[in-house]
Amino acid sequence: MIRRIYLLFIALFCTLCLNAQKTKQFTPGEIWNDNNGKHINAHGGGILFHKGIYYWYGEHKIAGKIGNSAQVGVSCYSSKDLYNWKDESIALKVDEDPNSDITKGCTLERPKVIYNTKTKKFVMWFHLELKGKGYYAARSGVAVSDKPEGPFTFLKSFRPNAGFWPVNVQPCHKKPVSPDVKDSYCGGKGCLSAPVDSVNLLGRDFKGGQMARDMNLFVDDDETAYHIYSSEENSTLHISKLSDDYLSCSGEYYRVFVGRYMEGATLFKCCGKYYIIASDCTGWNPNAARSAVADEIFGEWKELGNPAVGKDSELTFHSQSTYVLKVQGKNDSYIFMGDRWTPDNPIDGRYVWLPIKFENGAPKMYWQDKWSLN
Protein backbone atom coordinates (compact mmCIF):
# COMPACT_ATOMS: atom_id res chain seq x y z
CA MET A 1 0.00 0.00 0.00
CA ILE A 2 2.75 2.41 1.03
CA ARG A 3 4.62 1.50 -2.14
CA ARG A 4 1.49 2.30 -4.21
CA ILE A 5 1.04 5.70 -2.57
CA TYR A 6 4.72 6.38 -3.11
CA LEU A 7 4.46 5.51 -6.84
CA LEU A 8 1.32 7.62 -7.18
CA PHE A 9 3.12 10.53 -5.55
CA ILE A 10 6.07 10.15 -7.94
CA ALA A 11 3.69 10.01 -10.96
CA LEU A 12 1.89 13.16 -9.79
CA PHE A 13 5.19 14.92 -9.19
CA CYS A 14 6.44 14.01 -12.69
CA THR A 15 3.21 15.24 -14.31
CA LEU A 16 3.51 18.54 -12.44
CA CYS A 17 7.15 18.86 -13.52
CA LEU A 18 6.28 18.20 -17.16
CA ASN A 19 3.43 20.71 -17.06
CA ALA A 20 5.70 23.26 -15.45
CA GLN A 21 8.06 22.80 -18.41
CA LYS A 22 5.28 23.53 -20.88
CA THR A 23 5.56 26.83 -22.66
CA LYS A 24 2.71 29.26 -22.27
CA GLN A 25 4.04 32.07 -24.41
CA PHE A 26 5.60 32.85 -27.78
CA THR A 27 9.14 34.22 -27.83
CA PRO A 28 9.65 35.38 -31.44
CA GLY A 29 13.14 34.90 -32.86
CA GLU A 30 14.32 32.63 -30.02
CA ILE A 31 15.08 28.91 -30.06
CA TRP A 32 11.71 27.10 -29.95
CA ASN A 33 12.01 23.57 -28.61
CA ASP A 34 9.69 20.69 -29.44
CA ASN A 35 8.64 17.86 -27.08
CA ASN A 36 12.10 16.30 -27.46
CA GLY A 37 13.91 19.50 -26.50
CA LYS A 38 15.03 20.13 -30.11
CA HIS A 39 14.60 23.41 -31.99
CA ILE A 40 11.53 23.05 -34.24
CA ASN A 41 12.62 22.25 -37.77
CA ALA A 42 9.73 23.41 -40.00
CA HIS A 43 10.82 26.42 -42.04
CA GLY A 44 8.74 28.24 -44.66
CA GLY A 45 5.86 26.48 -43.00
CA GLY A 46 2.11 26.53 -42.78
CA ILE A 47 -0.56 25.25 -40.41
CA LEU A 48 -3.53 22.95 -40.82
CA PHE A 49 -6.17 22.76 -38.09
CA HIS A 50 -7.89 19.38 -38.04
CA LYS A 51 -10.11 17.79 -35.37
CA GLY A 52 -8.89 20.01 -32.53
CA ILE A 53 -5.20 19.74 -33.40
CA TYR A 54 -2.89 22.16 -35.20
CA TYR A 55 -0.38 20.59 -37.61
CA TRP A 56 2.69 22.61 -38.54
CA TYR A 57 4.37 21.55 -41.80
CA GLY A 58 7.66 23.02 -42.96
CA GLU A 59 10.99 22.53 -44.66
CA HIS A 60 13.24 20.20 -42.70
CA LYS A 61 16.71 21.77 -42.80
CA ILE A 62 20.09 20.30 -41.93
CA ALA A 63 23.26 22.07 -40.78
CA GLY A 64 25.56 23.79 -43.26
CA LYS A 65 24.81 25.41 -46.63
CA ILE A 66 23.76 22.04 -48.05
CA GLY A 67 20.73 22.35 -45.77
CA ASN A 68 19.25 24.89 -48.19
CA SER A 69 18.44 21.95 -50.43
CA ALA A 70 16.07 19.17 -49.37
CA GLN A 71 18.09 16.40 -47.75
CA VAL A 72 15.26 14.94 -45.66
CA GLY A 73 11.82 16.26 -46.63
CA VAL A 74 8.87 18.01 -45.03
CA SER A 75 8.52 17.97 -41.24
CA CYS A 76 5.27 17.78 -39.32
CA TYR A 77 4.59 18.84 -35.72
CA SER A 78 1.31 18.76 -33.82
CA SER A 79 -0.04 20.94 -31.03
CA LYS A 80 -3.25 21.64 -29.15
CA ASP A 81 -2.23 25.03 -27.81
CA LEU A 82 0.13 26.48 -30.48
CA TYR A 83 2.93 26.91 -27.89
CA ASN A 84 3.97 23.28 -27.37
CA TRP A 85 4.72 21.13 -30.40
CA LYS A 86 5.18 17.40 -30.70
CA ASP A 87 7.50 16.11 -33.41
CA GLU A 88 5.42 13.93 -35.76
CA SER A 89 8.52 13.14 -37.82
CA ILE A 90 8.82 13.51 -41.60
CA ALA A 91 5.50 13.83 -43.42
CA LEU A 92 6.97 13.74 -46.93
CA LYS A 93 10.36 12.14 -47.51
CA VAL A 94 12.67 13.09 -50.36
CA ASP A 95 13.27 10.16 -52.70
CA GLU A 96 16.55 8.23 -52.97
CA ASP A 97 15.70 7.54 -56.64
CA PRO A 98 17.77 10.00 -58.72
CA ASN A 99 15.01 10.04 -61.35
CA SER A 100 12.34 11.26 -58.97
CA ASP A 101 11.35 14.94 -59.16
CA ILE A 102 11.79 15.07 -55.39
CA THR A 103 15.12 13.28 -55.29
CA LYS A 104 17.36 14.06 -52.31
CA GLY A 105 19.10 17.38 -53.02
CA CYS A 106 16.21 19.00 -54.88
CA THR A 107 14.88 22.30 -53.53
CA LEU A 108 11.56 21.82 -51.79
CA GLU A 109 10.19 24.98 -50.22
CA ARG A 110 7.15 26.41 -48.44
CA PRO A 111 5.04 23.22 -48.10
CA LYS A 112 1.38 23.76 -47.20
CA VAL A 113 -1.33 21.22 -46.42
CA ILE A 114 -5.12 21.47 -46.76
CA TYR A 115 -7.84 18.91 -46.10
CA ASN A 116 -10.40 17.97 -48.70
CA THR A 117 -13.68 17.07 -47.01
CA LYS A 118 -15.06 15.34 -50.15
CA THR A 119 -12.12 13.00 -50.81
CA LYS A 120 -11.05 12.90 -47.13
CA LYS A 121 -7.45 13.38 -48.27
CA PHE A 122 -4.77 15.67 -46.88
CA VAL A 123 -3.23 17.47 -49.82
CA MET A 124 0.23 19.04 -49.74
CA TRP A 125 1.51 21.60 -52.26
CA PHE A 126 5.06 22.95 -52.32
CA HIS A 127 7.51 24.91 -54.44
CA LEU A 128 9.83 22.50 -56.20
CA GLU A 129 13.12 23.13 -57.96
CA LEU A 130 14.72 20.14 -59.68
CA LYS A 131 18.06 18.98 -58.34
CA GLY A 132 21.05 20.75 -59.84
CA LYS A 133 18.94 23.24 -61.78
CA GLY A 134 19.08 26.23 -59.45
CA TYR A 135 15.75 28.04 -59.45
CA TYR A 136 15.00 27.47 -63.17
CA ALA A 137 12.27 24.86 -62.91
CA ALA A 138 9.82 26.99 -60.86
CA ARG A 139 7.35 24.15 -60.37
CA SER A 140 4.59 23.18 -57.98
CA GLY A 141 4.66 19.76 -56.35
CA VAL A 142 1.64 17.88 -55.02
CA ALA A 143 1.52 15.03 -52.49
CA VAL A 144 -1.35 13.32 -50.73
CA SER A 145 -2.03 11.40 -47.51
CA ASP A 146 -4.88 9.76 -45.60
CA LYS A 147 -3.55 11.09 -42.29
CA PRO A 148 -2.51 14.60 -41.35
CA GLU A 149 0.91 13.53 -40.11
CA GLY A 150 1.55 11.51 -43.26
CA PRO A 151 3.23 9.66 -44.78
CA PHE A 152 2.43 11.74 -47.86
CA THR A 153 2.82 10.18 -51.31
CA PHE A 154 4.33 12.41 -53.97
CA LEU A 155 2.02 12.61 -57.01
CA LYS A 156 3.46 15.06 -59.54
CA SER A 157 5.21 18.33 -60.22
CA PHE A 158 4.43 20.82 -62.97
CA ARG A 159 4.18 24.45 -63.94
CA PRO A 160 0.61 25.57 -63.25
CA ASN A 161 -2.09 26.43 -65.74
CA ALA A 162 -0.39 25.23 -68.95
CA GLY A 163 -2.53 26.20 -71.93
CA PHE A 164 -4.80 28.54 -69.97
CA TRP A 165 -4.87 32.31 -70.10
CA PRO A 166 -5.64 34.15 -66.87
CA VAL A 167 -9.12 35.65 -66.68
CA ASN A 168 -7.57 39.13 -66.81
CA VAL A 169 -5.31 38.42 -69.81
CA GLN A 170 -4.66 41.40 -72.09
CA PRO A 171 -4.40 41.42 -75.88
CA CYS A 172 -0.64 42.13 -75.64
CA HIS A 173 -0.07 38.72 -74.02
CA LYS A 174 -1.55 36.84 -76.96
CA LYS A 175 0.85 38.39 -79.49
CA PRO A 176 3.79 36.23 -80.65
CA VAL A 177 6.61 36.23 -78.09
CA SER A 178 10.00 37.45 -79.21
CA PRO A 179 12.62 34.65 -79.24
CA ASP A 180 14.79 36.93 -77.08
CA VAL A 181 12.46 36.20 -74.16
CA LYS A 182 14.26 33.05 -73.13
CA ASP A 183 13.31 30.74 -70.33
CA SER A 184 16.08 32.01 -68.15
CA TYR A 185 16.31 32.33 -64.40
CA CYS A 186 16.44 35.89 -63.27
CA GLY A 187 14.01 35.85 -60.38
CA GLY A 188 15.00 39.22 -59.05
CA LYS A 189 14.01 42.80 -59.37
CA GLY A 190 15.76 44.70 -62.12
CA CYS A 191 16.62 41.59 -64.15
CA LEU A 192 14.06 42.29 -66.84
CA SER A 193 15.06 44.75 -69.51
CA ALA A 194 11.58 46.28 -69.75
CA PRO A 195 8.27 46.36 -67.83
CA VAL A 196 6.96 42.85 -67.30
CA ASP A 197 4.07 43.07 -69.74
CA SER A 198 6.23 44.29 -72.60
CA VAL A 199 8.57 41.33 -71.99
CA ASN A 200 5.47 39.08 -71.93
CA LEU A 201 6.61 36.24 -69.69
CA LEU A 202 2.98 35.16 -69.45
CA GLY A 203 2.88 34.53 -73.19
CA ARG A 204 6.28 32.83 -73.09
CA ASP A 205 5.01 30.34 -70.49
CA PHE A 206 1.48 29.87 -71.86
CA LYS A 207 2.19 26.45 -73.38
CA GLY A 208 4.51 24.97 -70.77
CA GLY A 209 2.77 26.39 -67.72
CA GLN A 210 3.40 29.43 -65.58
CA MET A 211 6.42 29.72 -63.29
CA ALA A 212 5.55 29.05 -59.65
CA ARG A 213 8.03 29.78 -56.87
CA ASP A 214 7.07 31.08 -53.37
CA MET A 215 3.57 29.78 -52.75
CA ASN A 216 0.67 29.35 -50.38
CA LEU A 217 -2.74 27.70 -50.25
CA PHE A 218 -6.02 29.14 -49.06
CA VAL A 219 -9.40 27.42 -48.54
CA ASP A 220 -12.40 29.73 -48.69
CA ASP A 221 -15.62 29.36 -46.63
CA ASP A 222 -17.26 27.46 -49.51
CA GLU A 223 -14.31 25.01 -49.51
CA THR A 224 -12.98 26.28 -52.83
CA ALA A 225 -9.19 26.19 -52.59
CA TYR A 226 -6.69 28.56 -54.15
CA HIS A 227 -2.99 28.43 -54.91
CA ILE A 228 -1.16 31.74 -54.77
CA TYR A 229 2.34 31.84 -56.21
CA SER A 230 5.10 34.17 -57.38
CA SER A 231 5.16 33.84 -61.14
CA GLU A 232 6.63 35.46 -64.25
CA GLU A 233 10.20 35.50 -62.85
CA ASN A 234 8.78 36.53 -59.46
CA SER A 235 7.44 39.79 -60.88
CA THR A 236 3.73 39.00 -60.50
CA LEU A 237 1.50 36.95 -58.24
CA HIS A 238 -1.05 34.52 -59.65
CA ILE A 239 -4.10 33.44 -57.69
CA SER A 240 -5.29 30.17 -59.11
CA LYS A 241 -8.41 28.18 -58.28
CA LEU A 242 -7.77 24.48 -57.62
CA SER A 243 -9.82 21.56 -58.89
CA ASP A 244 -12.48 20.14 -56.55
CA ASP A 245 -10.11 17.42 -55.31
CA TYR A 246 -7.38 20.06 -54.68
CA LEU A 247 -4.88 18.00 -56.68
CA SER A 248 -4.67 20.19 -59.79
CA CYS A 249 -5.18 23.69 -61.08
CA SER A 250 -8.61 24.40 -62.52
CA GLY A 251 -7.28 26.69 -65.26
CA GLU A 252 -9.11 29.69 -63.74
CA TYR A 253 -6.56 32.20 -62.47
CA TYR A 254 -5.82 35.90 -62.16
CA ARG A 255 -2.62 37.94 -62.32
CA VAL A 256 -2.36 40.36 -59.42
CA PHE A 257 0.22 42.95 -58.31
CA VAL A 258 1.76 42.94 -61.78
CA GLY A 259 5.44 43.92 -61.66
CA ARG A 260 5.41 44.32 -57.85
CA TYR A 261 7.83 41.42 -57.16
CA MET A 262 6.08 39.93 -54.15
CA GLU A 263 7.27 36.78 -52.42
CA GLY A 264 6.26 34.82 -49.33
CA ALA A 265 2.62 35.63 -50.09
CA THR A 266 0.01 34.57 -47.53
CA LEU A 267 -3.73 34.85 -48.13
CA PHE A 268 -6.33 34.94 -45.38
CA LYS A 269 -9.88 36.12 -44.79
CA CYS A 270 -11.16 38.24 -41.95
CA CYS A 271 -14.57 39.85 -41.50
CA GLY A 272 -15.62 38.98 -45.04
CA LYS A 273 -12.57 40.58 -46.66
CA TYR A 274 -9.52 38.93 -48.21
CA TYR A 275 -6.04 39.98 -47.11
CA ILE A 276 -2.57 39.30 -48.43
CA ILE A 277 0.63 39.78 -46.46
CA ALA A 278 3.75 39.25 -48.56
CA SER A 279 7.37 40.33 -48.77
CA ASP A 280 9.44 42.16 -51.32
CA CYS A 281 11.86 40.09 -53.43
CA THR A 282 15.36 40.07 -51.88
CA GLY A 283 16.21 36.38 -51.50
CA TRP A 284 17.04 35.26 -47.97
CA ASN A 285 17.51 38.86 -46.82
CA PRO A 286 14.58 40.43 -45.04
CA ASN A 287 12.79 43.48 -46.42
CA ALA A 288 9.67 45.52 -45.71
CA ALA A 289 6.49 43.43 -45.86
CA ARG A 290 3.48 44.42 -47.95
CA SER A 291 -0.21 44.04 -47.24
CA ALA A 292 -3.34 44.34 -49.33
CA VAL A 293 -7.11 43.93 -49.10
CA ALA A 294 -9.86 42.91 -51.52
CA ASP A 295 -13.61 42.26 -51.42
CA GLU A 296 -13.29 39.36 -53.85
CA ILE A 297 -10.44 36.88 -53.91
CA PHE A 298 -9.40 37.72 -57.47
CA GLY A 299 -9.45 41.44 -56.70
CA GLU A 300 -9.41 44.25 -57.20
CA TRP A 301 -6.62 44.29 -54.62
CA LYS A 302 -5.71 47.50 -52.85
CA GLU A 303 -2.26 47.78 -51.27
CA LEU A 304 -2.21 48.86 -47.62
CA GLY A 305 1.54 49.25 -47.04
CA ASN A 306 3.87 47.59 -44.59
CA PRO A 307 1.93 45.84 -41.81
CA ALA A 308 4.98 45.88 -39.52
CA VAL A 309 5.16 48.92 -37.25
CA GLY A 310 8.03 50.37 -35.20
CA LYS A 311 11.72 49.53 -34.86
CA ASP A 312 13.00 47.16 -37.59
CA SER A 313 9.64 47.26 -39.36
CA GLU A 314 11.51 48.01 -42.62
CA LEU A 315 12.94 44.49 -42.24
CA THR A 316 9.67 42.95 -40.96
CA PHE A 317 11.53 42.39 -37.67
CA HIS A 318 14.22 40.44 -39.58
CA SER A 319 11.73 37.96 -41.00
CA GLN A 320 9.83 37.00 -44.13
CA SER A 321 6.16 36.03 -44.22
CA THR A 322 5.24 32.39 -44.65
CA TYR A 323 1.67 32.01 -43.32
CA VAL A 324 -1.13 33.76 -41.49
CA LEU A 325 -2.75 31.48 -38.97
CA LYS A 326 -6.32 31.83 -37.73
CA VAL A 327 -6.50 31.00 -34.03
CA GLN A 328 -9.41 28.64 -33.41
CA GLY A 329 -12.06 29.51 -30.85
CA LYS A 330 -11.18 33.18 -30.83
CA ASN A 331 -12.95 35.77 -32.91
CA ASP A 332 -10.87 37.33 -35.65
CA SER A 333 -7.60 36.35 -34.03
CA TYR A 334 -4.71 35.90 -36.47
CA ILE A 335 -1.01 35.22 -36.12
CA PHE A 336 1.63 36.35 -38.59
CA MET A 337 4.20 33.58 -39.12
CA GLY A 338 7.56 34.63 -40.50
CA ASP A 339 10.94 32.99 -41.03
CA ARG A 340 14.21 34.45 -39.88
CA TRP A 341 16.42 32.70 -42.43
CA THR A 342 20.01 31.70 -41.67
CA PRO A 343 21.21 30.42 -45.10
CA ASP A 344 24.78 29.72 -43.87
CA ASN A 345 23.36 27.25 -41.36
CA PRO A 346 19.68 26.84 -42.26
CA ILE A 347 18.84 24.49 -39.39
CA ASP A 348 19.30 27.46 -37.04
CA GLY A 349 16.55 29.51 -38.75
CA ARG A 350 14.11 31.08 -36.26
CA TYR A 351 10.42 31.78 -36.29
CA VAL A 352 8.80 35.15 -35.80
CA TRP A 353 5.17 34.76 -34.79
CA LEU A 354 3.32 37.96 -33.94
CA PRO A 355 -0.34 38.80 -33.36
CA ILE A 356 -2.10 40.74 -36.11
CA LYS A 357 -4.19 43.73 -35.13
CA PHE A 358 -6.53 45.51 -37.48
CA GLU A 359 -6.23 49.28 -37.48
CA ASN A 360 -8.54 51.21 -39.80
CA GLY A 361 -9.08 48.04 -41.78
CA ALA A 362 -5.35 47.34 -42.26
CA PRO A 363 -3.43 44.45 -40.66
CA LYS A 364 -0.67 45.62 -38.34
CA MET A 365 1.92 43.90 -36.19
CA TYR A 366 4.14 45.22 -33.46
CA TRP A 367 7.29 43.58 -32.10
CA GLN A 368 6.91 41.73 -28.80
CA ASP A 369 9.73 39.88 -27.01
CA LYS A 370 7.14 37.63 -25.42
CA TRP A 371 3.42 37.31 -25.82
CA SER A 372 0.56 34.91 -25.30
CA LEU A 373 -2.89 34.39 -26.77
CA ASN A 374 -4.50 36.07 -23.78
Which residues would be at the binding site for ligand GAL (CB under 6 A)? 44, 109-110, 214, 263-264, 283-284, 320
Name which of 101 and 109 has its Cβ closer to ligand GAL.
Answer: 109
Amino acid type, 71: Q
- Closest contact distance (angstroms) between CB of 189 and ligand GAL is 11
Q: What is the DSSP string of 311-372?
A: TTGGGTTT-EEEEEEEPTTSTT-EEEEEEE--TTSGGG-EEEEEEEEEETTEEEEE--SSB-
Can you tell me the distance from the alpha carbon of 303 to that of 69, in angstroms, rounded to the nearest whole number?
33
Q: Beta strands 362-366 and 308-309: pairing type?
A: parallel
- Closest contact distance (angstroms) between CB of 285 and ligand GAL is 8
- Closest contact distance (angstroms) between CB of 248 and ligand GAL is 23
- Closest contact distance (angstroms) between CB of 112 and ligand GAL is 12
Name which of 28 and 264 has its Cβ closer to ligand GAL.
Answer: 264
Q: What is the DSSP string of 269-296?
A: EETTEEEEEEE-S-TTS----EEEEESS
Name which of 124 and 270 has its Cβ closer to ligand GAL.
Answer: 124
Name which of 145 and 321 has its Cβ closer to ligand GAL.
Answer: 321
Can you tell me the distance from the alpha carbon of 225 to that of 78, in angstroms, rounded to the nearest whole number?
23
CB 57 within 8 A of CB 42: yes
Q: What is the DSSP string of 145-176?
A: ESSTT-PPEEEEEE-TTTT---TT--GGGGSP
- Closest contact distance (angstroms) between CB of 226 and ligand GAL is 19
CB 99 within 8 A of CB 132: no
Q: What is the DSSP string of 14-70?
A: HHHHHHHHS--SB-TTS--B-TTS-B---EEEEEEEETTEEEEEEE---SSGGGGS-
Name which of 262 and 270 has its Cβ closer to ligand GAL.
Answer: 262
Name which of 232 and 263 has its Cβ closer to ligand GAL.
Answer: 263
- Closest contact distance (angstroms) between CB of 361 and ligand GAL is 27
Can you tell me the distance from the alpha carbon of 371 to that of 333, in angstroms, rounded to the nearest whole number?
14
Question: Which residue sits closest to ligand GAL, CB atoms considered?
Answer: 283
Name which of 44 and 46 has its Cβ closer to ligand GAL.
Answer: 44
- Closest contact distance (angstroms) between CB of 120 and ligand GAL is 30
